[in-house]
Amino acid sequence: MKHLLSLCLLLLGSLYAAEKPNVLFLAVDDMNDWIGCLETTPRALTPNIDRLAARGVNFTNAHTAGVFCAPSRAAIFTGQFASTTGCYTTANYFYDHPEIRPLQVSFAEGGYQTFGGGKLFHHPEGAIDQRGWTEFYLRNQSQRENGWPLDSWSDEVPFPDPFPNSIYNKGKKVTGGLFLEWGAVPNEKEEELADTMRTNWAVQKLKEKHEAPFFLAVGLYAPHFPNYCPQKYFDLYDPATIELPPYKEDDLDDLPEKIKKQKTNRKNLHHKGLEELDAVDDAIHGYLACISYADAMIGRVLDALDASPYAENTIVVLWSDHGYHHGEKGDWGKHTLWERTSNVPFIWAGPGIAEGKKTNTTVSLIDMYPTLLEQCGLPTTPHKLEGRSLAGMLTDPSTAKHQKVYLPNMEPGAYAIIDRQYRYIRYADETEELYDVRKDPNEWTNLAMKPEFDDVKTLYQKRAPKKFAKPAFKLNKHKHLILEGETFRWEVPDKK
């Protein structure tokens, strides 16, 4: 009788596991809202992302949880904003907050196999949370022995010839991570690119037999700079006909003095330089080409899923860690509280999710963790999740309740509050910006100094945290990173 009971429990457990959906978690880096299904200008050619949107729910008003790679990814994998964890500029939440159960550990504790590869966390040595993975893909042994750096553009991957390649950098010594570099590599070298290798690894995982439900997370580095990809993706576009984003020459004039000075300097450094070289369209061409390359890799993974036994029972989530400026408000890059940094592609598809729906409900990437907990029946986390579950609106987007979403900046006390009508920005020095995004989608007119909007500002301030955590301890890979065979750990002697 005891053995019969054990067998029944085992069968029930297997049945329960079989009913749990698999999750395909697709991340892209620095991809703004120029994808085809978001109908923006300029618009990249993204047929594979578009077909995913056509079979799921496309959030057109989705916003990042951090203003660049490290804090955004820390927030996504912890379900907590930087104002709680202190990860304003770092991804290493697992050092200061080992008590946090990260997303992949929640899946592991919920009975899932967990597979990860590529840029899911930030990319330097020591930045990947090793806990909870059944397998984490690194393309060579040296990566495992050197703290698991991403190394997307290390020596063994193909580069354009000549190098540096872009007009902006010709004749210059390239420093600072190949910023504003673009160029084509030969088509026949596509399989040698790091993102292609990560994609092929994910495709292979979908061909394998899995006895338990799986969480398969794949992070592409594209379209992060340098904008290098095979020539065929450049050939999709004619730079002479690329529509440039809207610019306003005096756009910075009504900003608070400190941010005005910072962004004027940045505009003079990058945007004006590109204008003088008549290369704004060339730089955007490289970015669009890399979006199309990332889209092609996503297409490979989606094709593999469709051909697999898991096609009908897999939730697909596509997200970008943040957007990217291409001269809007004089900026090239991220790190801002404006729309170009915050608005991101965000698409869900799969069992129980409405098909072919689009919603402009304001949502945040912080909402992914609680949504996946609900959809996949994962155990409750020991730490508080600061997002809200989107499970109900994924089933029926018409039931969505509108909200104001919060976006912390890179220091305590600085943030944006965003909804479908306004974007309120407050800096650490208590200066402000306010934009009516319905009337002014380009955020050209700062309303913060107009007395008639004082009540609006007060209302939006209420959505901000009452307290802000102090910045997390800054770890130094040369001093604090301890390599141990194929793993690593952080150790600070005076913090033992």
Mode of pairing for the β-strands spanning 214-219 and 113-118 = parallel
Domain locations along the chain: 20-397
- Average pLDDT over the chain reads 94
Catalytic-labelled residue, pool 63, 97, 122, 325: 122
Mean pLDDT of the 159-179 span: 84
Which of these is catalytic: 69, 87, 229, 290? 69
Question: Could you tell me the two tokens for 227?
Answer: 């904008």
Strand-pairing partners, residue 112, are none
Q: Is the pLDDT of residue 14 over 70?
A: no
- For residue 17, what pLDDT is reported? 43
Distances in whole angstroms, Cα of residue 85 to Cα of each of 112, 142, 157: 26, 31, 36
Average pLDDT over residues 384-393: 97
**Per-residue tokens: 281:** 């369209």
Instruction: Give 295-319 pLDDT, tens digit per residue.
Output: 999 999 999 999 999 999 999 999 9
Report CA torsion sign: 437, 441, 443, 444.
negative
| pLDDT tens profile 42-74 | 999 999 999 999 999 999 999 999 999 999 999
Please check the confidence at residue 8 and state whether its pLDDT lies above 70. no
Q: What is the pLDDT of residue 127?
A: 96
Which CATH architecture describes the domain 20-397?
3-Layer(aba) Sandwich (3.40)
For this structure, is 69 an active site residue? yes
How far apart are alpha carbons 107 and 341 in whole angstroms? 29
Q: What is the pLDDT of residue 177?
A: 72
At 248-285, the pLDDT tens digits run 999 999 999 999 999 999 999 999 999 999 999 999 99
pLDDT > 60? residue 139:
yes
Count CB-CB contacts under 10 A for residue 398: 9
**Residues in CB range of 423: below 8 A, 6 or more apart:** 337, 338, 339, 416, 417, 433, 434, 435, 437, 443
Q: Is the pLDDT of residue 41 over 90?
A: no
Per residue in 16-28, pLDDT (tens digit) is 345 899 999 999 9
Separation CA 460–CA 455 (nearest Å):
9
Give per-residue pLDDT as tens, 338-372: 999 999 999 999 999 999 999 999 999 999 999 99
pLDDT at 11 exceeding the cut of 80: no
Q: How far apart are CA 406 and CA 355, in angstroms?
A: 28
User: Which of 157, 149, 151 minimizes the C-alpha distance to 481?
Assistant: 149
| Nearest Cα residue to 136 out of 104, 107, 101, 106 | 104
CA–CA gap between residue 475 and residue 277 (Å, rounded): 39
Cβ pair 59, 402 in contact under 8 A:
no
In whole angstroms, what is the distance from residue 445 CA to residue 31 CA?
Answer: 25
Spatial contact of 82 and 67, defined as CB atoms under 8 Å apart: no
pLDDT of the residue at 240: 87
Residue 17 in contact with residue 110, Cβ under 8 Å?
no
Q: Over pLDDT 90: what percentage of the chain?
A: 90
Q: What is the pLDDT, as a whole number, of residue 175?
A: 67
Calpha distance 219→301 (Å, rounded) = 12
Is 376 one of the catalytic residues? no
User: What is the Cα Rg of the chain in Å?
Assistant: 22
| Residue 13 banded pLDDT, cuts 50, 70, 90 | very low
Q: What is the pTM of this model?
A: 0.95
The DSSP call for residue 32 is -
Continuous H helices in 363-470: 368-376, 391-395, 454-461
Q: What count of residues does the chain have?
A: 496
Tokens of 371: 């949504």
Q: Are 316 and 348 in contact (CB under 8 A)?
A: yes
Percent helix, strand and coil across the chain, each rounded to 5?
35, 15, 45
Contact 56, 247 (CB under 8 A): no
